[in-house]
């Protein structure tokens, strides 16, 4: 793909001189890179380790857990980065919130839909209970707008048609439930890899000519050949698409096509994702991505976030093994139908 939409060259340069510098150096796609003089002060030459066959070594267990939202919150339009002071305040607030929730439980109103959920902090499911990489970005999506571009008219139509067809049939059977609830695929696994609300952990394993990325939630492994082979034939479509990779210096560049039109972005028919993974220090991979589909969005969009090293291993996520949730949801819907039919019968009698 063309790289004109994402300032890859400048971000890679910044990545090479370290995450701290990158995060302290606001730049949007298409904008001027931070002056070299400013970054040179903190720049440290760091050479990533290499595998036995000479690839830059990205292996290990990592997390892309973050509190940075994918799209920029309203009211922060045009503000791509928080200041150091703002970030410090946010970190303090987040810690205060977490300890309050751990003490008192998640604050929800009894008898509301929001309350019908187990307590996040009790089960260690609150993002703040896991390691996360704070950064100054106001959104994962880069650039002045920080949002996913508008849908094209034809994509809006496809979406409306799909919604109209599904309306009233959301609970008919398993096939009508979302892919995640059916344990088939999760949009956060992408690509692009986006943070999950919890268990946002990844493992990267490399072999000669291959890089494999496993997402703990929900167990998917993407095996990426780096031997220069072409993509699969266009007719073969897969949940996570078909990824091929190559190395540009210390950066792994992964190009993915051949998605279905269901995952990770419903109704995208010609999705093309380019990811760049650069290990910028022993504990950090800078993850950058660009998503495009001219039939879906009016322009491509790009994002970046740090991926941080964590201890331990990935735990098994055999999602379908005890997926009572799907059955409970459908049986709940049958019960509701039964009650509605009974009521209407009684109404007819009157």
> CB count, 10 Å around CB of 279?
25
Residues in region 75-134 near another protein by CB under 8 A: 75-76, 79, 82, 86-91, 93-95, 97-99, 101-102, 105-107, 110-113, 115-134
Torsion of CA 96, 130, 147, 58, to 10 degrees: 140
Q: What is residue 262's three-state secondary structure?
A: coil
Q: What are phi and psi of 324, to 5 degrees?
A: -65, -25
Applying CB under 8 A, does 323 fall inside the site for another protein?
Answer: yes
**Choice from 7, 80, 216, 275 touching another protein (CB under 8 A):** 216
Which region among 39-47, 151-159, 221-229, 333-341 touches another protein (by CB under 8 A)? 333-341
Applying CB under 8 A, does 138 fall inside the site for another protein?
Answer: yes
Applying CB under 8 A, does 44 fall inside the site for another protein?
Answer: no
Q: Please tell me the distance from the alpha carbon of residue 147 to that of residue 159, in angstroms, as a whole number.
A: 19
Applying CB under 8 A, does 205 fall inside the site for another protein?
Answer: no
Residues in region 167-196 near another protein by CB under 8 A: 171, 177-178, 180-181, 183, 186-188, 196
Write the interaction track for another protein spanning residues 226-265; mark x where CB under 8 A is met and - where it is not: ----------------------------------------
Torsion of CA 230, 214, 182, 303, to 10 degrees: -70
Residues in region 58-77 near another protein by CB under 8 A: 67-69, 72-76
Residues in region 289-318 near another protein by CB under 8 A: 306, 308, 312, 315-318
- By beta-carbon proximity to another protein, the closer residue of 152 and 329 is 329
- By beta-carbon proximity to another protein, the closer residue of 61 and 232 is 61
CA angle 244, 148, 180 (to 5 degrees): 65
Q: Please tell me the distance from the alpha carbon of residue 75 to that of residue 140, in angstroms, as a whole number.
A: 16
Q: What single DSSP character describes residue 320?
A: G
Tell me if 81 sits within 8 A of 136, measured CB to CB: yes
CB of residue 216 to another protein, shortest distance in Å: 6
Question: From residue 54, how far is each of 48, 211, 276 by CA, in Å?
Answer: 11, 13, 18
CB of residue 20 to another protein, shortest distance in Å: 7
- Tokens representing 283 are 């504990």
CB of residue 323 to another protein, shortest distance in Å: 7
CB of residue 348 to another protein, shortest distance in Å: 24
Q: Please tell me the distance from the alpha carbon of residue 100 to that of residue 93, in angstroms, as a whole number.
A: 11
């Amino acid at each position: 793909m063309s790289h004109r939409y994402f300032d890859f060259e400048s971000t890679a340069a910044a990545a090479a001189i370290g995450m701290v510098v990158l995060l302290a150096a606001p730049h949007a796609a298409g904008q001027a890179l931070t002056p070299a003089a400013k970054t040179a002060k903190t720049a440290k030459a760091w050479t990533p380790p290499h595998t036995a066959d000479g690839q830059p070594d990205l292996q290990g267990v990592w997390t892309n857990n973050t509190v940075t939202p994918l799209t920029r919150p309203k009211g922060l339009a045009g503000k791509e980065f928080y200041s150091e002071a703002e970030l410090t305040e946010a970190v303090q607030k987040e810690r205060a919130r977490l300890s309050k929730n751990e003490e008192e439980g998640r604050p929800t109103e009894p008898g509301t839909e929001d309350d019908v959920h187990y307590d996040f902090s009790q089960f260690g499911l609150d993002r703040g209970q896991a390691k996360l990489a704070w950064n100054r970005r106001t959104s994962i999506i880069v650039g002045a707008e920080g949002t996913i571009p508008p849908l094209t008219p034809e994509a809006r139509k496809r979406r409306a048609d799909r919604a109209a067809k599904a309306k009233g049939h959301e609970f008919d059977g398993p096939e009508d439930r979302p892919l995640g609830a059916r344990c088939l695929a999760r949009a956060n696994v992408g690509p692009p890899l986006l943070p999950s609300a919890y268990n946002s952990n990844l493992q990267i394993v490399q072999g000669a000519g291959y890089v494999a990325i496993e997402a703990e939630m929900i167990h998917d492994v993407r095996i990426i050949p780096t031997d220069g082979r072409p993509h699969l034939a266009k007719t073969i479509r897969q949940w996570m698409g078909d990824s091929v990779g190559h190395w540009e210096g210390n950066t792994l560049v992964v190009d993915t096509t051949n998605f279905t039109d269901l995952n990770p972005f419903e109704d995208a028919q010609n999705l093309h994702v380019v990811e760049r993974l650069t290990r910028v220090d022993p504990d950090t991979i800078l993850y950058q991505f660009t998503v495009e589909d001219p039939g879906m969005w009016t322009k491509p969009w790009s994002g970046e976030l740090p991926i941080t090293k964590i201890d331990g291993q990935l735990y098994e996520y055999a999602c379908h093994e005890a997926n009572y949730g799907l059955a409970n949801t459908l049986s709940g819907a049958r019960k509701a139908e039964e009650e509605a039919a009974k009521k209407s019968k009684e109404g007819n009698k009157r």
